Structure 1
Amino acid sequence: MRPSLFRSVPVAALLLLGVACQRNVVVTTPTDPPASGNTSSVSTPAPTSQNTVTPVPDGTMVQFDTAARPGWLEARIQKLSAEPRQNPPARIMRYRFEDQVVYYETLGCCDQYSNLYDQNGKIICHPEGGITGKGDGNCRYFTKRRTEERLVWQDSR
């Protein structure tokens, strides 16, 4: 009786796996110290023995800029706080853009537009979001020309 093709495939896979394991492939991570104990390249920083990314918040409180919030902005924050939590969390930043104070509001995930408000609460444009991720195209230079960034509010729920 001939062995079927389906029975011989797992055997072939095991044989290939055995050959691959015999090559002594060693995997190192950037947190491993170098074999010589030092690095000779100036462009590559010395490895560290600790994680450089903290996956869990460290418990520090975010400092919000509460200076002179306009009434419309307080109302907007209250409305966002009453809605279900978004992922990523909604946040509002204050910037100086084209010689005026503006407020930038990020909203949730995916194709939702972000909002850029003037000092009076009127929407100037949508710098990001939409299908392309590039907003509505009405303030293409916002990310390049904004200055004086301040966190006004972030949903911490």
Structure 2
Amino acid sequence: MRPTFLFAFTSAALLLTGACQRGVAVNTPTDPPVAGYVNGTDTPNPTSANTTDLTRNRATAFDTTARPQWLETRIQNHLAEKKQNPPVHIYRYRYNDQVVYFETAPCCDQFSTVYDAKGKVLCHPDGGITGRGDGQCADFTKNRTAEMLVWQDPR
């Protein structure tokens, strides 16, 4: 049994060594075509500049139409505080045939909040120790419609 294993190991080593010694030329996409054309159509070479920006676009379009004054005040209060992780988001929805504003919780087991159009707290649909909110609007996630991002902390 031992000679078979040794033979298999030696054979594999010889095959790998032989394959590595062959002069294999690799052409990368940055190499220009030999004739200047690829199948009759000129294909531009990739640039060395990074064309992919993986950072978020900080100029996110928010819905600023008809923001109530109380909401502008809340936004200014958030900006005056230390940046939260994750950042606070405020969305506008239709819920139970009215316009409502949903403010995400800044962290962990804190309640998110749903406000009516006048700024009165309606409920806390999620968060807290159980993650289910205060139970006053358990159907909020299911029945909300017309989502519109109103604001998110840009910092």
TM-score, with length taken from structure 2: 0.64
Separation in 2, partners of 1:91, 1:114? 10
* Residue identity opposite 2:85 in structure 1: N
* Residue identity opposite 2:62 in structure 1: F
Does structure 1 conserve the Cα–Cα contact (< 8 Å) formed by 2:58 and 2:154?
no
Aligned residue pair count: 104
For 2:79, what is the secondary structure of its paired residue? helix
In the TM superposition, residue 108 of structure 1 has moved relative to its aligned partner by 1.3
For 1:66, what is the secondary structure of its paired residue? coil
1:127 is matched with which residue? Answer: 125
Q: Percent identity?
A: 61
| Residue 77 (1) aligns with residue 75 (2) | yes
1:141 is matched with which residue? Answer: 139
1:15-94 correspondence runs (5 A): 56-59=54-57, 61-94=59-92
Any stretches of 5+ residues in structure 2 without a counterpart? Answer: 1-51
In the TM superposition, residue 55 of structure 1 has moved relative to its aligned partner by 10
1:102-117 correspondence runs (5 A): 102-117=100-115
In the TM superposition, residue 59 of structure 1 has moved relative to its aligned partner by 2.9
For 1:137, what is the secondary structure of its paired residue? coil
For 1:96, what is the secondary structure of its paired residue? strand
TM-score, with length taken from structure 1: 0.63
Separation in 2, partners of 1:63, 1:115? 22
Separation in 1, partners of 2:55, 2:123? 32
* Residue identity opposite 2:59 in structure 1: M
* Residue identity opposite 1:100 in structure 2: Q
Separation in 2, partners of 1:83, 1:98? 32
* Residue identity opposite 1:73 in structure 2: L
Any stretches of 5+ residues in structure 1 without a counterpart? Answer: 1-53
Separation in 1, partners of 2:53, 2:102? 26
Separation in 2, partners of 1:156, 1:135? 26
For 1:113, what is the secondary structure of its paired residue? coil
Which structure's CA Rg is the greater one?
2
